[in-house]
């Protein structure tokens, strides 16, 4: 005979059927799940409606109108397909605008980045008057783009302050038509853009430096590291995510730059492509020339270039900042 264990019999044994969940508990869980979904839908629906209404719908209309030769009056009927896109890439002025945007993107990253990093590292140190210097570095960014454009347009005029100062200092050989020279105007505009937006990069990097733990720098000092070694091996690696975010914002802003170029540049020079960007080209050839279909095609091209650039940047540079984020359900 096999002895039976009373404790196993009372507990149900190994072969006993599993306990069924209580109906009240399962219904409570289902009710909580429904309530969470109602909350999510209720909170996201207004944002989704705004996004669809003011982003997706205009994008759809822009693509639709870009397929027509349309002057903005009446319903578009002259369907041309992708001819507007072909015409854009065959126009040398538009190709010059693409080149100028590439120069601004590359120049902004290469010039503004090192300047902003050097100034931010200096302003991050403790010294008297640091707050005043931080404020002065941020002042150009606070000024409106139209104000900055008009100011520099007056300063760089043929009889403006800059040329007058060069003449008075005996440097008349440096006098230039800063905004009218076809070979010089894009570099002049790049200088103005650097002066305007480097303050934003400085403030952003200072915010990133404030998150660097002081314990790490103090430990490096105790180990005998110099100030430059601390910045290179401690500060810069921890500041890398902030630098990448600034690079992303600077790249997208440079691709879509309009107001500063529009106000500062000379219309005759811009019409020749020397100072045109994709945004100014779109307004000149879409709004003022009343070629709405063609202008919408340029707008779609600008969107696609910006969107692809953003995706590539996020895929290859911002990806490392998201590796530690929770992207899926824990298993």
pLDDT tens string 179-200: 998 999 999 999 999 999 999 9
Specify if 42 maps to a domain. Answer: no
Residue 66: name the closest of 285, 248, 326, 288 by CA.
285
Specify if 188 maps to a domain. Answer: yes
Confidence at residue 7, expressed as pLDDT on a 0 to 100 scale: 47
Confidence at residue 15, expressed as pLDDT on a 0 to 100 scale: 53
Where residue 320 falls among pLDDT bands split at 50, 70, 90? Answer: low
Specify if 255 maps to a domain. Answer: yes
Number of domain units in the chain: 1
Supply the range of the domain harboring residue 288. 84-320
Residue 236: name the closest of 113, 60, 80, 71 by CA.
113
Specify if 63 maps to a domain. Answer: no
Confidence at residue 326, expressed as pLDDT on a 0 to 100 scale: 45
Residue whose structure tokens are 């989704």:
48
Specify if 16 maps to a domain. Answer: no
> Which segments within the chain are labelled E, that is strand?
none
Render pLDDT for 135-146 as a digit per residue (tens, 0 to 9).
888 889 999 999
- pTM, two decimals, is 0.81
Residue whose structure tokens are 């693509």:
63
Specify if 259 maps to a domain. Answer: yes
**Which CATH number fits the domain that encloses residue 277?**
1.10.3720.10
Which two structure tokens, joined as six digits, stand for 307? 């969107």
Specify if 162 maps to a domain. Answer: yes
Specify if 139 maps to a domain. Answer: yes
- The number of beta carbons lying within 10 Å of the beta carbon of residue 231 is 18
Does the pLDDT of residue 83 top 50, yes or no? Answer: yes
Does the pLDDT of residue 18 top 90, yes or no? Answer: no
Where residue 108 falls among pLDDT bands split at 50, 70, 90? Answer: very high
Average pLDDT over the chain reads 85
Query: Contact 328/255 with Cβ under 8 angstroms?
Result: no
């Amino acid at each position: 005979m096999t002895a039976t264990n009373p404790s196993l019999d009372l507990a149900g044994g190994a072969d006993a059927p599993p306990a069924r969940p209580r109906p009240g508990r399962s219904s409570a869980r289902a009710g909580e799940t429904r309530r969470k979904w109602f909350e999510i839908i209720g909170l996201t629906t207004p944002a989704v409606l705004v996004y669809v209404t003011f982003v997706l719908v205009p994008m759809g209309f822009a693509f639709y109108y870009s397929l027509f030769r349309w002057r903005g009056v009446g319903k578009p009927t002259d369907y041309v397909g992708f001819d507007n896109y072909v015409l854009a890439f065959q126009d040398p002025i538009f190709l010059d605008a693409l080149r100028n945007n590439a120069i601004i993107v590359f120049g902004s990253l290469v010039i503004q980045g090192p300047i902003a990093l050097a100034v931010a590292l200096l302003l991050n140190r403790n010294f008297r008057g640091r707050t005043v210097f931080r404020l002065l570095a941020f002042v150009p960014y606070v000024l409106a783009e139209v104000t900055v454009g008009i100011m520099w347009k007056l300063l760089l005029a043929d009889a403006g302050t800059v040329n007058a100062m060069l003449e008075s200092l005996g440097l008349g050989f440096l006098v230039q038509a800063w905004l009218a020279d076809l070979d010089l105007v894009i570099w002049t505009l790049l200088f103005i853009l650097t002066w305007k937006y480097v303050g934003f990069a400085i403030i952003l990097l200072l915010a990133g430096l404030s998150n660097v733990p002081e314990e790490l720098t103090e430990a490096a000092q105790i180990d005998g590291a110099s100030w430059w070694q601390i910045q290179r091996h401690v500060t810069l690696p921890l500041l890398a995510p902030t630098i990448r975010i600034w690079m992303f914002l600077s790249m997208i802003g440079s691709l879509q730059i309009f107001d500063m170029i529009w106000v500062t540049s000379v219309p005759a020079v811009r019409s020749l492509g020397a100072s045109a960007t994709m945004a100014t080209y779109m307004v000149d050839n879409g709004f003022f020339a009343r070629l709405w279909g063609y202008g919408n095609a340029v707008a779609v091209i600008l969107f696609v270039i910006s969107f692809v650039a953003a995706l590539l940047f996020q895929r290859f540079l911002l990806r490392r900042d998201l590796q530690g984020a929770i992207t899926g359900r824990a298993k």
